[in-house]
């Protein structure tokens, strides 16, 4: 009896420090955390940290850079009920912000019957031990030439290295552990995350079949992404991808109106990107741009995520009510 009581105390101590629910036994890479729902009946209190239920956290380090990263995973409700089914898998950057949001948006979209397909959601963490901004400046940008005022704040330009980590470490781990449809890997990123997605699209488009590029920071390094686009077009006749691009109406500069941006013309850049890719007449490219009204860079993401999910993962007519 004393041993059982001791174990329960140990479990409670772990729960007080866990911030995400984890539903698997540790392996290598290992899971972190415990199953709060089964131990506490799904209830938490006494100042314990809030948890995102029905999620898992796994440590997946990068052997090349030596950095530690985590992946956050949410499985669809049908996953256990349909053991032979494979699912599209959506990788989202800036997981501290986007993972829980995308999970709940997907749940609500299907609240009155299927509006989007079930999918496996994978959140990509910042490097363990780093704050978000230094990690994303380094991992999500294509060149070391960050904005002048930001150069002293950290390293930039390791987007290629980070994409190699995704391709050779994170994605194989997910594919080996879950029933993913590897022909339907999808990407979602906002701001610098959208810039990283554009880099993947224009350097290794087979990494993902579909992309949500939210308010991409095309202004970065004097619009260096345009040179990526030109290099790709010079050596390729097709771009096999489905791309949803969104940006907020107020993300262009308009000095006479305080609602508008003060530094970058991101709407203009997004329209240029759309026009340029469409002018290439790639037969397999599907591309849609939405300029979302009454939104700015900080407000647009939830709405853009919603439209992006509906564009990349529409429920088949047979599944709609």
Tell me what pLDDT residue 151 has: 56
Q: What is the mean pLDDT of residues 136-156?
A: 83
Tokens of 75: 């499985």
- Percent of the chain predicted with pLDDT > 70: 83
Q: Which residue has the higher pLDDT, 319 or 203?
A: 203
CATH class of domain segment(s) 124-175+182-319: alpha beta
Tell me what pLDDT residue 51 has: 86
Angle of helix 95-109 relative to helix 301-312, nearest 10 degrees, comes to: 60
* pTM for the predicted model, two decimal places: 0.86
Q: Encode pLDDT of 19-74 as tens digits.
A: 444 444 333 444 443 333 333 345 678 898 888 889 999 999 999 999 999 999 99
Kindly state the DSSP code that residue 150 receives in the 8-state scheme: G
Tell me what pLDDT residue 150 has: 58
Where does residue 215 fall: left (phi above 0), alpha (psi -120 to 50 degrees), or beta otherwise?
left
Angle of helix 225-235 relative to helix 192-203, nearest 10 degrees, comes to: 20
Instruction: Parse the chain into domains and list their residue ranges.
Output: 124-175+182-319
- Identify the helix (H) or strand (E) that includes residue 264: none
Q: Encode pLDDT of 172-230 as tens digits.
A: 999 999 999 999 999 999 999 999 999 999 999 999 999 999 999 999 999 999 999 99
Q: Which of 25-34, 39-48, 99-108, 133-142 has the lowest mean pLDDT?
A: 25-34
Q: Which of 33-42, 100-109, 284-293 has the lowest mean pLDDT?
A: 33-42
Q: Is the pLDDT of residue 266 over 90?
A: yes
User: Quick one: which of 61, 33, 23, 34 has its CA closest to 173?
Assistant: 61
Question: What is the rounded distance in angstroms from the CA atom of residue 93 to the CA atom of residue 121?
Answer: 11
Q: Where are the alpha helices (DSSP H) in 82-224?
A: 95-109, 132-139, 159-165, 171-177, 192-203, 220-223
Q: With beta carbons less than 8 A apart as the criterion, state whether 68 and 50 touch.
A: no
């Amino acid at each position: 009896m004393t041993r059982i009581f001791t174990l329960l105390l140990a479990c409670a101590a772990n729960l007080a420090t866990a911030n995400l629910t984890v539903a698997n036994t540790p392996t290598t890479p290992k899971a972190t955390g415990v199953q709060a729902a089964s131990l506490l009946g799904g209830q938490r209190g006494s100042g314990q940290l809030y948890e995102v239920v029905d999620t898992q956290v796994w440590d997946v380090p990068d052997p090349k850079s030596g950095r530690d990263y985590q992946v956050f995973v949410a499985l669809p409700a049908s996953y256990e009920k349909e053991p032979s089914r494979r699912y599209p898998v959506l990788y989202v950057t800036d997981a501290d912000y986007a993972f829980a949001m995308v999970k709940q948006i997907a749940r609500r979209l299907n609240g009155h019957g299927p509006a989007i397909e079930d999918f496996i959601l994978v959140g990509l963490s910042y490097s363990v031990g780093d704050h978000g901004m230094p990690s994303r400046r380094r991992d999500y940008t294509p060149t070391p030439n960050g904005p002048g005022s930001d150069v002293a704040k950290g390293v930039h330009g390791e987007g290629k290295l980070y994409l190699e980590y995704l391709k050779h470490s994170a994605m194989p781990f997910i594919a080996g552990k879950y029933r993913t449809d590897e022909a339907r890997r999808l990407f979602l990123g906002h701001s610098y995350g959208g810039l990283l997605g554009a880099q993947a699209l224009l350097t290794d488009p087979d990494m993902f079949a579909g992309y949500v590029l939210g308010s991409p920071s095309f202004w970065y390094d004097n619009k260096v992404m345009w040179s990526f686009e030109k290099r790709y077009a010079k050596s390729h006749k097709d771009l096999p991808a489905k791309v949803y691009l969104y940006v907020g109406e107020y993300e262009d500069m308009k000095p006479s109106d305080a609602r508008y941006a003060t530094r970058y013309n991101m709407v203009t850049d997004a329209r240029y990107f759309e026009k340029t890719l469409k002018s290439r007449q790639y037969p397999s490219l599907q591309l849609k741009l939405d300029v979302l009204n009454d939104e700015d860079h900080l407000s647009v993401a939830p709405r853009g995520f919603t439209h992006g999910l509906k564009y990349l993962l529409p429920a088949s007519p047979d599944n709609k009510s």
